[in-house]
Amino acid sequence: DPAPVLRSATAFAPATVANLGPGFDFLGCAVSGLGDTVIASIDPAVPPGTLAISSVSRLSHDPLWNCAGIAGIAAMRMLRIRSVGLSVSLQKGLPLGSGLGSSAASAAAAAAAINALFGAPLSPSDLVLCGLESEAKVSGYHADNVGPAILGGFVLIRRYDPLDLIRLEFPSDRDLFFVLVSPEFEAPTKKMRATLPSDITMKDHVYNSSQAAALVAAVVRGDARVLGSAMASDTIVEPRRAPLIPGMAAVKMAAERAGAFGCTISGAGPTAVAVIDDEEKGKEIGKRMVEAFFKAGGLMASVKVARLDRVGARVI
């Protein structure tokens, strides 16, 4: 039962783009400028060894049904906290059901903040396991959001049992921008996962595997053009999910016509993500994608041009 080294700690965890097209459930990356913040505090009003949610909007205050609460309890269990009670305040910077790793950001920030309270003895892999407990309850046991939310950058999940994560380094001297266009439409992850095929052809398996391999090669080589092309080449998951997002096919076409290297669905959607190597060009691509969501899908949408977040969850 370690003694706390702080009375309060604040952590931020970034938004994430999961799947990246053909990398369903095993590839993801963190993006800058968006995310969730959690303040964890030693709270004498909370029974020792337990956790309470002190502040959150639009979400449950029950820690057993709140992403931050589930991951926080997992971190306390891993740390063997018994002598003090904790409270957490969750400040949502990400919309719910957006396809930008909203649940993972809450879980990652909570685990990181609680770890910091006790001197940060848990490793990043430990924190991912804490976040996975939350993900398993709310959206499925997959680390392609919570992995990059904690580690930052691009993350490959090599296997889940035992958990084996490989952080992929995109060269720091290369430019990479993500055009994130989020329509006013909610796509719950569980609903979007229910659309997935139970069987696939060998042809689709081979093609998607080659595209995922090309994507990984493009990341480590810093080749944004090949990265975008591979990201846009999923033949298994995107074809099932895109029809459920009004206007998605037109948005993808608009992005690529405007010069994007590739476009796909971010996570389970409905956010569309395009890749480019120039920020100003990204803004123009974003405008065309917003227009397409409105014209083809009847949806208003917002756009954010973001860089790769190379840090992941951190104390602020």
How many domains is the chain partitioned into structurally?
Answer: 2
One domain for residues 105 and 205: no
Active site residue 201: no
Residue 3 lies in a domain: no
- What is the pLDDT at residue 34? 95
Residues 153 and 195 in one domain: no
What sign has the CA pseudo-torsion 42, 43, 49, 55?
negative
Give a yes or no: residue 1 inside a domain: no
Q: Among the options 133, 135, 238, 256, which is catalytic?
A: 135
206 and 149 share a domain?
A: no
With cut-offs at 50, 70 and 90, classify the pLDDT of residue 228. Answer: very high
Q: Does one domain contain both 157 and 44? A: yes
| Position 247 confidence tier, pLDDT thresholds 50, 70, 90 | very high
Same domain? 96 vs 146: yes
Could you tell me the residue range of the domain that residue 63 belongs to?
8-170+311-315
Asked if residue 260 has pLDDT above 90, the reply is yes
* 92/160 same-domain check: yes
Same domain, 23 and 166: yes
Q: Are residues 154 and 212 in the same domain?
A: no
pLDDT grade for 188, boundaries at 50, 70 and 90: confident
Q: What is the mean pLDDT of residues 207-220?
A: 98
Does residue 20 sit in the same domain as residue 105? yes
95 has pLDDT over 90: no
Name the percent of the chain lying above pLDDT 70.
Answer: 100
With 80 as the cut, is the pLDDT of residue 190 above it?
no
- At residue 56, the pLDDT reads 74
- CATH number of the domain where residue 284 is located: 3.30.70.890
Active-site option among 189, 238, 264, 271: 189
Q: What is the mean pLDDT of residues 277-292?
A: 98
Residues 51-59, mean pLDDT to the nearest whole number: 83
For the question of residue 50 being annotated catalytic, the response is no
pLDDT at 58 over 90: no
Do residue 145 and residue 182 come from a single domain?
Answer: no
